[in-house]
Structure 1
Amino acid sequence: MAEAPQRRSVHVGVGVGLPLVAAAALGVLLFRLFPADAMVRWGLSPAVVAGVCWAGQLWYVGYGLDPGGIADGFWRRLLGLANAVTLARGALYAVVAGFVVVPPGTSLAWGPALCYGAGVVLDNLDGAVARTVGRETEIGRRLDMAFDTFGFVAAPLVAVSWGLLPAWYLSISAARYVFRGAVWLRRVRGLPVGDLPDGDLSRYLAGVQMVFVTVALLPPTPTELAWALAPVVLAPSLAVFARDYLVVSGRLSRRR
């Protein structure tokens, strides 16, 4: 019985305390880094937007953890090398989200591409670190999944709001949520949900999307070229989401 209050306190710390502290720290840092001319769009501060997004990511991760399984050595596992790399990636994606309220053409025009590109590099690093010098954990898996999904929303939103990509490119951001919502609805209705196909193609196409969005965000990239390539890059990824749903719903056989 004595362990219950400890577990509850750890769960509150993870689900509430950690997001609030992390958001405040990131917000204070960005308030000092963003110049005044970057804080005029829609009356919102990019530092506040980034802090809220950072807190939301961490809250999502902490909210889904089992209270009974996080007390024992949680902070040691969370702050391990691999998870530290993943957390840095999430913070970079939160900074990218802050640029949604930054007008294009400021002195920070390189910021989204540099932050998102650095996050893409870290995405390839954290898993390798976990497999070589640490170990893969449930916390790390949730962090990785949450940040991957958020990055696919934040970076395209900035590119679209700056006119660097067409608005319909945001369908790649919505596709993940539509897919998960459709699977959830099948489970609620008591319908069978099969296993996903092997993920090599999905991972490859996700990497292509990350590189393409990073390049589109770079100031020297011709906007006309990015718009012309957008449907070519987008179509295969949307097709894979459709294929995955057909497989898990049993409408298409799963090939090994």
Structure 2
Amino acid sequence: MSEGGGTLAPTVRLRRQWLLVAACAAVGVALGWDALRELDMAIARRWVLPTTAVLGFELWFLTRHLDRNRTAEGRLCETLGPANAVTLVRGGLYAAVAGFVLVPPTPAVAWLPGVCYGAGAALDWIDGRIATTIGRETRLGATLDLAFDTLGFLVAPLVGVVWGRLPVWYLALSFARYAFKAARAGRRYRGRPVYDLPESRVRRPLAAGQMAFITLALLPVLPASMVHAAATLALAPSLAVFVRDYLVVSGRLRADEP
């Protein structure tokens, strides 16, 4: 059957691929558990629960949005494709980072959150390039990309704060996206106009900069005092963009205004 088919077969195939993704996630958790158990059983026990919880959320999110595996023209794709596969690996890496929120920052694991998050951030650059190169840009891919970006900005700074690598106010970045969505939904609920958010030349570069900063913050290469001092400077531009975007969608600021 062609990818443009609108019958049940593509959905069945996608469901089977979801099961394969779930199986790979289970294998990943088992391998992570085994590796950490070799270091310290207590670390493995603390790591496995948050990691499994985040993976469970990601699998639920994937199955909820499988029907969005369509091109811009609405053509349903029967397979997840390599770009989405890379994005899902990125989600798995962010889930692994989340596991360290309950793990004390011992020398044995000090590098792991930063390495996992940095690898996921690098894959964020790769998955989009793959989709563009092979002509498989899908709505599902865009949805997963944004959701996993937001998730990464939540779990990685949280680990950084718990480990003392980031100041607590840096968590404002973690909740900015959720606050923006809640404020926009609140306007819709009250019957107030919500305007489209246009493309921006600064959102992606700022997001990439935040990913690089979070990676550097999590890696034990700079003193925590230096990271804390730089955190406010790194945070301010992204928060300013969230404020500006809300002013645009609420009609208080025209999209073409600075």
Contact 1:45/1:101 (<8 A) preserved:
yes
**Deviation, structure 1 residue 63:** 1.4
Aligned to 2:103: 102
Inter-partner Cα distance in structure 2 for 1:88 and 1:130: 15
SS in 2 for 1:171: helix
Q: How big is each residue's C-alpha offset from its partner over 1:103-143, in whole Å with a ceiling of 9 and x where there is no partner?
A: 10231110011111111111111101100124101121121
Is 1:200 aligned to 2:198, yes or no?
A: no
Contact 2:87/2:144 (<8 A) preserved:
yes
Aligned to 2:189: 188
**Deviation, structure 1 residue 39:** 5.1
Compared CA separation, residues 68 and 200, structure 1 to 2 (3 A): closer
Number of equivalent positions: 248
**Deviation, structure 1 residue 28:** 1.1
User: Which segment is superposed worse, 196-205 or 84-93?
Assistant: 196-205
Aligned to 1:240: 241
Inter-partner Cα distance in structure 1 for 2:120 and 2:183: 29
Inter-partner Cα distance in structure 1 for 2:119 and 2:28: 17
Inter-partner Cα distance in structure 2 for 1:12 and 1:66: 10
Is 1:139 aligned to 2:114, yes or no?
A: no
Q: How big is each residue's C-alpha offset from its partner over 1:43-93, in whole Å with a ceiling of 9 and x where there is no partner?
A: 9531232122112012123214449979x653x2x1x11111111111111
Aligned to 1:34: 36
- Letter in structure 2 aligned against 1:122: L
Q: TM-score, normalised by structure 1?
A: 0.86
User: Which segment is superposed worse, 234-243 or 130-139?
Assistant: 130-139
Compared CA separation, residues 38 and 253, structure 1 to 2 (3 A): farther
**Deviation, structure 1 residue 247:** 0.7
Contact 2:22/2:59 (<8 A) preserved:
no
Aligned to 1:116: 117
How large is the Cα RMSD of the aligned pairs?
2.7
Q: How is 1:146-157 mapped onto 2 (pairs within 5 angstroms)?
A: 146-157=147-158
Contact 2:104/2:163 (<8 A) preserved:
yes
SS in 2 for 1:35: helix
SS in 1 for 2:101: helix
Q: How is 1:62-77 mapped onto 2 (pairs within 5 angstroms)?
A: 62-66=63-67, 73-74=77-78, 76=79
**Deviation, structure 1 residue 36:** 5.8
Please list every run of 5 or more consecutive structure 2 residues that lacks an aligned counterpart in the other structure: 1-6
Please list every run of 5 or more consecutive structure 1 residues that lacks an aligned counterpart in the other structure: none
Inter-partner Cα distance in structure 1 for 2:245 and 2:141: 24
Inter-partner Cα distance in structure 2 for 1:124 and 1:66: 24
**Deviation, structure 1 residue 31:** 1.1
Inter-partner Cα distance in structure 1 for 2:135 and 2:56: 26
Identical aligned pairs, as a percentage?
47
**Deviation, structure 1 residue 18:** 6.2
Inter-partner Cα distance in structure 1 for 2:22 and 2:86: 20
Compared CA separation, residues 58 and 200, structure 1 to 2 (3 A): farther
Inter-partner Cα distance in structure 1 for 2:12 and 2:134: 30
**Deviation, structure 1 residue 13:** 6.2
Inter-partner Cα distance in structure 2 for 1:26 and 1:244: 37
Contact 2:65/2:140 (<8 A) preserved:
no
Q: TM-score, normalised by structure 2?
A: 0.86
